[in-house]
Amino acid sequence: MSCFIPLVDHHADELPQYFTNPFDYRPHPLCIEAKNAIKKLLPDPGTMAKGKMYGVLVVKNNDNQLGFLVSYSGNEKETNTSIPFVPQVFDITNPDGFFRQEEKALTRLNDEINALLQSKTLLMLKHELAEKEKKVKIEIASIKTQIKQSKEKRELLRDTTNDTSVLAQLIKESQSEKSRFNALKKKWKLEIKSIEDKLDHFNNHISELKKRRKTKSAQLQQRLFSSYIFNNAEGEHASALEIFNKHDLKIPPAGAGDCAAPKLLQYAYLSQLKPLAMSEFWWGPSPITIIRKQDYFYPACKSKCEPILGFMLKGLSLPSPVEKLNSESITVLFEDDMIAVINKPAGLLSVPGKEENNSVYQQAKELFPNANGPLIVHRLDMSTSGIMLIAKTKMAHSILQKQFLKQTIKKQYVALLDGIVNENEGVIDLPLRVDLDDRPKQMVCNDYGKKAISRWKVIARNKNFTRIHFFPQSGRTHQLRVHAAHPLGLNTPIVGDPLYGIKKDRLHLHAERIEFIHPESNQTLVFECPATF
């Protein structure tokens, strides 16, 4: 069955000039039309147990007919038969395929290991060893007490007699007591070792099974990712294993190749369809840990897709990055011999990046050539504009940094939210850590996240937007952006947020006020710089 779905009544000037950069894009109108057509066939989001990422790829066939393909992220079988989803790059769900067969063998090994770990024999041996060690410890303590008491009696007797035969008898008793004690310790040691040997034999068997499982699992992963074969527009093909090896990663992450974008491109290449534009969107409930909004478009994930798509996009004409780093200069709001207060434009890095030197740090070095301090005391996200402190001396840097660590510096941000927040104020307490599968995005994590607290207050509501003040009590990466967008936060992303909302001209987040103690005069200083949005 063909997965090609026709699009009709479109003119040549509506076609995209470049193919989509899957990591930095705004959806082409044809992708929006394709999504809207598919949405009618997707289940009601309210009836779904969990949401899913879907993708559409606008293509042309050999007859110059315009159409699109649709896919979803994940390797489970999609039960919605009304949509002709493109197939998996490699079908690991095939019950007769090697993966499921080897998976069964691994499951049997797991079951055997778990059965041994929970066996009565193992529990009995552990209990027997613990009881024996406990008993020996008590008996040793008791005998040592007896030996001590006997020793004290002998010493008293020695002090009251000069009889050589008595003294000789005392020595003999002491030696005999020590000999009996050493014999008992040797006996107990042998008894404990006997139990330990049985336990070691049992544990060694478990260890051997675990080694077999690890080896078998590694071999299966190697074979699996050698079976994921990807093509590109230049007619080349490579396995997932080969692609990730070139990125110094021995084994691809779990799920690599099962995302929507690689499936779409692979089917297009194999079916001689010309890729024109691609987009991915979320449908259904959002996970608690990461931010996914119903019906929003999202970029492809980094850890799984970036190496694969880097290969698959070869031969297609891609645009230059949509978001260029800002070349504007910082504005100095205040300076003296110790510090400077500056206004950072949106799109400018706080410190130099891997491929970009222009930054607040670089510009501050040029503006303050006599400064001998590290300059940067704290940072703002590249996309965030507003007030930053600059330390011109090492002493100023140290004092200001301590104020940040003690959270005595008061910061106020203004943000424009893409929706209406009904409450007037509140506090958000959601711990954050980096999303290892999709850097630099952050995720909520109660187990490993760092504490992140934001106080907020609504200052205006206008049509479908809410303007608020944020007062962060901590300074985690993307803290305000995640706290705004997350369902357990305000559930309303900041306007223009390309990671957690909808990309626009800029992120509408601005650090507009700061209050701190001057590192030399000890005076409280307050600076304000209103937002321009």
Token output for 415: 């943000």
Q: Please name which of 509, 516, 22, 7 lies closest in space to residue 265, comparing C-alpha atoms.
A: 22
State how far the Cα of 19 lies from the Cα of 313, in Å rounded to an integer.
9
Strands (E) in 48-108, as ranges, are: 52-60, 66-72
Q: Of 381, 418, 435, 438, which residue is the catalytic one?
A: 381
State how far the Cα of 464 lies from the Cα of 409, in Å rounded to an integer.
33
Q: Please name which of 23, 17, 10 lies closest in space to residue 303, comparing C-alpha atoms.
A: 23
Amino acid at 176: S
Token output for 287: 């996970």
Residues near 425 by Cβ (< 8 Å), separated by ≥ 6?
455, 456, 457, 458
Residues near 437 by Cβ (< 8 Å), separated by ≥ 6?
253, 301, 302, 303, 304
DSSP 2-21: ---EE--S--GGGS-SS---
Say whether 381 is catalytic: yes
Q: Phi, psi at residue 514, to the nearest 5°? A: -145, 145
Question: What is the CB neighbour count within 10 angstroms for residue 278?
Answer: 31
Amino acid at 45: P
**Cis peptide bond N-terminal to 43, omega within 30:** no
Let me know if 57 is exposed, middle or buried by CB neighbors in 10 A (0-12, 13-18, 19+): buried
| Helical spans, DSSP H, in 26-119 | 29-39, 98-117
Element (H, E) at 467: strand 465-472
State how far the Cα of 215 lies from the Cα of 208, in Å rounded to an integer.
11
Token output for 367: 């503006």
Answer for the pair 419, 464: CB distance below 8 angstroms, yes or no: yes
DSSP 315-347: TS--PPPSSPPP-PPPEEEEE-SSEEEEEEPTT
State how far the Cα of 233 lies from the Cα of 315, in Å rounded to an integer.
5
Dihedral over Cα of 207, 208, 212, 213: its sign: negative
Length in residues, the chain: 533
State how far the Cα of 83 lies from the Cα of 41, in Å rounded to an integer.
7
| Catalytically annotated residues | 381
